[in-house]
Chain A
Amino acid sequence: MKLAFDLWTFATISAGAFFFLAGTVGLLRFPDTPTRLHALTKADNLGLGLVVLGLLPQADGVLAGIKLVCIWLLVLLAASSVSQLIAATVRRGGGPR
Protein backbone atom coordinates (compact mmCIF):
# COMPACT_ATOMS: atom_id res chain seq x y z
CA MET A 1 0.00 0.00 0.00
CA LYS A 2 2.83 2.35 0.89
CA LEU A 3 4.45 1.58 -2.47
CA ALA A 4 1.26 2.52 -4.28
CA PHE A 5 1.08 5.83 -2.33
CA ASP A 6 4.74 6.56 -3.09
CA LEU A 7 4.26 5.84 -6.80
CA TRP A 8 1.24 8.18 -6.83
CA THR A 9 3.39 10.89 -5.20
CA PHE A 10 6.21 10.39 -7.72
CA ALA A 11 3.84 10.58 -10.69
CA THR A 12 1.77 13.60 -9.65
CA ILE A 13 4.64 15.71 -8.32
CA SER A 14 6.66 15.06 -11.48
CA ALA A 15 3.67 16.15 -13.57
CA GLY A 16 3.24 19.22 -11.35
CA ALA A 17 6.90 20.19 -11.76
CA PHE A 18 6.47 19.84 -15.53
CA PHE A 19 3.54 22.26 -15.50
CA PHE A 20 5.56 24.76 -13.46
CA LEU A 21 8.25 24.56 -16.13
CA ALA A 22 5.59 25.03 -18.82
CA GLY A 23 4.27 28.12 -17.02
CA THR A 24 7.74 29.66 -16.83
CA VAL A 25 8.47 28.92 -20.49
CA GLY A 26 5.12 30.48 -21.42
CA LEU A 27 5.84 33.57 -19.33
CA LEU A 28 9.22 34.01 -21.01
CA ARG A 29 8.38 33.06 -24.59
CA PHE A 30 4.82 34.19 -25.35
CA PRO A 31 4.62 37.36 -27.45
CA ASP A 32 2.30 39.74 -25.57
CA THR A 33 0.85 40.43 -22.14
CA PRO A 34 -2.58 38.67 -22.34
CA THR A 35 -1.06 35.44 -23.70
CA ARG A 36 1.57 35.51 -20.97
CA LEU A 37 -1.19 36.01 -18.38
CA HIS A 38 -3.01 33.01 -19.83
CA ALA A 39 0.12 30.81 -19.65
CA LEU A 40 0.91 31.84 -16.11
CA THR A 41 -2.45 31.60 -14.37
CA LYS A 42 -3.47 28.26 -15.85
CA ALA A 43 -0.28 26.22 -15.99
CA ASP A 44 0.98 27.26 -12.56
CA ASN A 45 -2.26 26.56 -10.72
CA LEU A 46 -2.52 23.17 -12.39
CA GLY A 47 1.07 22.49 -11.30
CA LEU A 48 0.32 23.53 -7.73
CA GLY A 49 -2.81 21.35 -7.74
CA LEU A 50 -0.82 18.31 -8.88
CA VAL A 51 1.83 18.97 -6.21
CA VAL A 52 -0.90 19.18 -3.54
CA LEU A 53 -2.51 15.94 -4.82
CA GLY A 54 0.89 14.26 -4.69
CA LEU A 55 1.53 15.41 -1.13
CA LEU A 56 -1.87 14.20 0.17
CA PRO A 57 -0.74 10.57 0.82
CA GLN A 58 2.33 11.91 2.67
CA ALA A 59 0.25 14.19 4.94
CA ASP A 60 0.13 13.51 8.69
CA GLY A 61 -3.63 13.04 8.89
CA VAL A 62 -6.98 13.89 7.37
CA LEU A 63 -6.96 17.45 8.75
CA ALA A 64 -3.48 18.18 7.34
CA GLY A 65 -4.68 16.91 3.96
CA ILE A 66 -7.79 19.10 4.07
CA LYS A 67 -5.56 22.09 4.90
CA LEU A 68 -3.42 21.41 1.81
CA VAL A 69 -6.52 21.24 -0.39
CA CYS A 70 -7.82 24.48 1.20
CA ILE A 71 -4.56 26.26 0.29
CA TRP A 72 -4.97 25.12 -3.30
CA LEU A 73 -8.59 26.30 -3.42
CA LEU A 74 -7.58 29.71 -2.00
CA VAL A 75 -4.85 30.04 -4.63
CA LEU A 76 -7.27 29.05 -7.40
CA LEU A 77 -9.84 31.62 -6.27
CA ALA A 78 -7.21 34.34 -5.88
CA ALA A 79 -5.50 33.60 -9.21
CA SER A 80 -8.71 33.53 -11.22
CA SER A 81 -9.94 36.85 -9.76
CA VAL A 82 -6.54 38.50 -10.02
CA SER A 83 -6.04 37.41 -13.65
CA GLN A 84 -9.35 39.09 -14.55
CA LEU A 85 -8.29 42.27 -12.73
CA ILE A 86 -4.86 42.37 -14.40
CA ALA A 87 -6.37 41.71 -17.84
CA ALA A 88 -8.82 44.59 -17.29
CA THR A 89 -5.92 46.85 -16.25
CA VAL A 90 -3.94 45.89 -19.35
CA ARG A 91 -6.91 46.63 -21.62
CA ARG A 92 -7.42 50.01 -19.98
CA GLY A 93 -3.89 51.05 -20.86
CA GLY A 94 -0.99 49.18 -19.45
CA GLY A 95 -1.25 49.61 -15.72
CA PRO A 96 0.41 52.08 -13.36
CA ARG A 97 3.53 53.84 -14.54
Chain B
Amino acid sequence: MREFLIGACGFVLATVILGLIRILRGPADADRMMATLLLGTGGIATLLLLGAAIGERAAVDVALTLALLAAFAAIAFTRAAPRDDA
Protein backbone atom coordinates (compact mmCIF):
# COMPACT_ATOMS: atom_id res chain seq x y z
CA MET B 1 0.00 0.00 0.00
CA ARG B 2 2.81 2.37 0.90
CA GLU B 3 4.55 1.92 -2.45
CA PHE B 4 1.26 2.48 -4.27
CA LEU B 5 0.60 5.72 -2.38
CA ILE B 6 4.10 7.04 -3.09
CA GLY B 7 3.74 6.07 -6.76
CA ALA B 8 0.39 7.86 -7.03
CA CYS B 9 1.96 10.88 -5.31
CA GLY B 10 4.76 10.97 -7.90
CA PHE B 11 2.28 10.60 -10.76
CA VAL B 12 0.10 13.51 -9.61
CA LEU B 13 3.20 15.65 -9.06
CA ALA B 14 4.38 14.82 -12.61
CA THR B 15 1.04 15.89 -14.13
CA VAL B 16 1.19 19.17 -12.18
CA ILE B 17 4.73 19.86 -13.42
CA LEU B 18 3.56 19.12 -16.97
CA GLY B 19 0.73 21.62 -16.47
CA LEU B 20 3.26 24.32 -15.60
CA ILE B 21 4.18 24.44 -19.32
CA ARG B 22 1.04 26.62 -19.59
CA ILE B 23 2.83 29.31 -17.53
CA LEU B 24 5.57 29.47 -20.16
CA ARG B 25 3.15 29.51 -23.10
CA GLY B 26 0.53 31.92 -21.77
CA PRO B 27 -0.87 33.65 -23.79
CA ALA B 28 -3.13 35.55 -21.35
CA ASP B 29 -2.27 36.13 -17.72
CA ALA B 30 -5.46 34.25 -16.78
CA ASP B 31 -3.95 31.11 -18.36
CA ARG B 32 -0.88 31.48 -16.19
CA MET B 33 -3.09 31.93 -13.13
CA MET B 34 -4.91 28.70 -14.02
CA ALA B 35 -1.65 26.76 -14.03
CA THR B 36 -1.05 28.14 -10.54
CA LEU B 37 -4.51 26.90 -9.49
CA LEU B 38 -3.57 23.49 -10.86
CA LEU B 39 -0.41 23.63 -8.74
CA GLY B 40 -2.62 24.33 -5.71
CA THR B 41 -5.06 21.45 -6.28
CA GLY B 42 -2.36 18.99 -7.34
CA GLY B 43 -0.13 20.05 -4.46
CA ILE B 44 -2.94 19.32 -1.98
CA ALA B 45 -3.44 15.84 -3.45
CA THR B 46 0.33 15.22 -3.41
CA LEU B 47 0.61 16.28 0.23
CA LEU B 48 -2.35 14.13 1.31
CA LEU B 49 -0.97 11.07 -0.50
CA LEU B 50 2.53 11.63 0.90
CA GLY B 51 1.18 12.18 4.41
CA ALA B 52 -0.77 8.91 4.24
CA ALA B 53 2.24 7.05 2.79
CA ILE B 54 4.80 8.08 5.41
CA GLY B 55 2.33 8.45 8.30
CA GLU B 56 2.95 12.16 8.80
CA ARG B 57 -0.17 13.83 10.16
CA ALA B 58 1.18 17.38 9.81
CA ALA B 59 1.04 17.05 6.01
CA VAL B 60 -2.76 17.36 6.23
CA ASP B 61 -2.39 20.74 7.95
CA VAL B 62 0.05 21.90 5.28
CA ALA B 63 -2.47 20.83 2.62
CA LEU B 64 -5.19 22.85 4.37
CA THR B 65 -2.96 25.95 4.39
CA LEU B 66 -2.14 25.43 0.71
CA ALA B 67 -5.86 25.24 -0.12
CA LEU B 68 -6.45 28.59 1.59
CA LEU B 69 -3.42 30.27 -0.01
CA ALA B 70 -4.31 29.07 -3.53
CA ALA B 71 -7.79 30.60 -3.16
CA PHE B 72 -6.34 33.90 -1.86
CA ALA B 73 -3.83 34.07 -4.72
CA ALA B 74 -6.58 33.73 -7.33
CA ILE B 75 -8.76 36.33 -5.57
CA ALA B 76 -5.80 38.75 -5.45
CA PHE B 77 -5.36 38.19 -9.20
CA THR B 78 -8.95 39.14 -9.97
CA ARG B 79 -8.84 42.15 -7.63
CA ALA B 80 -5.76 43.45 -9.49
CA ALA B 81 -7.60 43.39 -12.84
CA PRO B 82 -8.60 46.81 -14.24
CA ARG B 83 -12.33 47.55 -14.03
CA ASP B 84 -14.52 49.14 -16.67
CA ASP B 85 -16.15 51.56 -14.23
CA ALA B 86 -12.87 52.69 -12.65
Contacts and interface: CB of A to CB of B under 8 A. Distances in A.
Interface of A: 6, 9-10, 13-14, 16-17, 20-21, 23-24, 27-28, 33, 36-37, 40-41, 44-45, 47-48, 51-52, 55, 58-60, 64, 67-68, 71, 74-75, 78-79, 81-82, 85-86, 88-90, 92-97
Given A13-B5, A17-B11, A78-B67, A86 B77 contact: yes
B16 to A, nearest CB: 7
Contacts of B16: 20, 24
Contacts of B38: 23-24, 27, 40, 44
A45 B67 CA distance: 12
A95 B60 CA distance: 33
Given A85-B75, A96-B29, 9 more contacts: A13-B4, A20-B16, A27-B19, A27-B35, A40-B34, A51-B8, A75-B67, A81-B71, A88-B78
Q: List the 10 closest A-B pairs by CB distance, nearest first.
A: A78-B71, A82-B74, A85-B78, A24-B19, A44-B41, A24-B15, A95-B29, A96-B80, A89-B81, A95-B30
Contact of B22 (A10, A28, A79, A96): A28
Given A6-B1, A51-B45, A75-B44, A94 B19 contact: no
19 contacts: A20-B45, A27-B19, A28-B18, A36-B34, A44-B42, A51-B45, A51-B48, A60-B57, A64-B57, A71-B60, A75-B44, A86-B34, A89-B30, A92-B83, A94-B29, A95-B28, A95-B77, A95-B81, A96-B77
B49 A13 contact: yes
Contacts of B8: 13-14, 16-17, 51
B12 to A, nearest CB: 5
